[in-house]
Amino acid sequence: MLKIKNIQTFYGNIQALKDVTIDIHEGEIVTLIGANGAGKSTTLMSICGITPPRAGEILLDGDPIQNLSPEKIVQRGIVQVPEGRRIFPDMTVVENLEMGAFLRNNKPQVQQDLNYVMTLFPILEKRRNQLGGTLSGGEQQMLAISRALMARPRVLLLDEPSLGLAPLIIKQIFEIIKQINKESNTTIFLVEQNANQALKLADRGYVMENGRITLVDSADSLLANDDVRKAYLGI
């Protein structure tokens, strides 16, 4: 469904991605793990059109999308939950959610989706008129995921949803990611430093080091791989 083919992405003269190839099939949960600075966020930014690759291709259902604007890429169904949530702090929960649907015209369907995300995360219903900036870290992450869902993604890109959150909240968020994947057949591409949790959730995983993919396998095989265990699971 989403094919990233030999992409090279730069920041000025610095090459952050070196010949990265990733295949994501419809309905899968795929994770990309790696150390700080490996290039994981850059991979997501390249897919979203924020830092487009200088070479290589990104194909959605076989169509190249690497030259489309970020807005067009969202319209094609690829939506990112950025690292550090980046919700709108001075808008209420409901206003944040409505922003996620700003490219959609079908108001009844948007209202239906608003109700759906409130059932996924009931705490957002309770906080519906509270300003985004006053929410806890976990609630902000829930809001950021929900805001992305308001765009009706076919592929949801998640950048370190566990960052800075307590283990119990991480568990809850990861369970809901699984639920989103199952209930609406939303394909998930999850970037994580928390490799253990990410591999437990995912079907397949990619390992990235210094801007290159060094391993790809089923999540179960990666969890059992000695090199992965030493480098990323602290075992």
- Interface residue list for ligand ATP (CB under 6 A): 11, 14, 16, 34, 36-42, 83, 193
| Smallest separation, CB 184 to ligand ATP (Å) | 27
By the 10 Å C-beta count (0-12 exposed, 13-18 middle, 19+ buried), 222 is classed as buried
One-letter amino acid for residue 209 of the chain? E
One-letter amino acid for residue 146 of the chain? S
| Smallest separation, CB 82 to ligand ATP (Å) | 11
Nearer to ligand ATP, 142 or 191 (CB): 191
Cβ contact 42:9 at 8 Å: yes
**Beta pairing class for 187-192 and 155-159:** parallel
| Smallest separation, CB 45 to ligand ATP (Å) | 7
| Smallest separation, CB 197 to ligand ATP (Å) | 15
One-letter amino acid for residue 38 of the chain? A
Nearer to ligand ATP, 62 or 234 (CB): 234
Nearer to ligand ATP, 39 or 132 (CB): 39
| Smallest separation, CB 160 to ligand ATP (Å) | 6
Nearer to ligand ATP, 16 or 124 (CB): 16
One-letter amino acid for residue 145 of the chain? I
Exposed e or buried b for every residue in 126-139, given b needs 16+ CB within 10 A?
Answer: ebeeebbeebeebb
Q: Closest Cα to residue 116, out of 186, 187, 167?
A: 186
Nearer to ligand ATP, 91 or 163 (CB): 163
Nearer to ligand ATP, 20 or 149 (CB): 20
Q: Residue written as tokens 């000025």?
A: 12
Residue 187 to residues 55, 86, 124, 158, 215: CA-CA distances in angstroms? Answer: 25, 22, 23, 11, 21
Q: Quick one: tokens of 160?
A: 């370190």
One-letter amino acid for residue 232 of the chain? Y
Nearer to ligand ATP, 41 or 186 (CB): 41
| Smallest separation, CB 126 to ligand ATP (Å) | 31
| Smallest separation, CB 139 to ligand ATP (Å) | 22
Distance in angstroms between the alpha carbons of the first and the last residue of the chain: 34
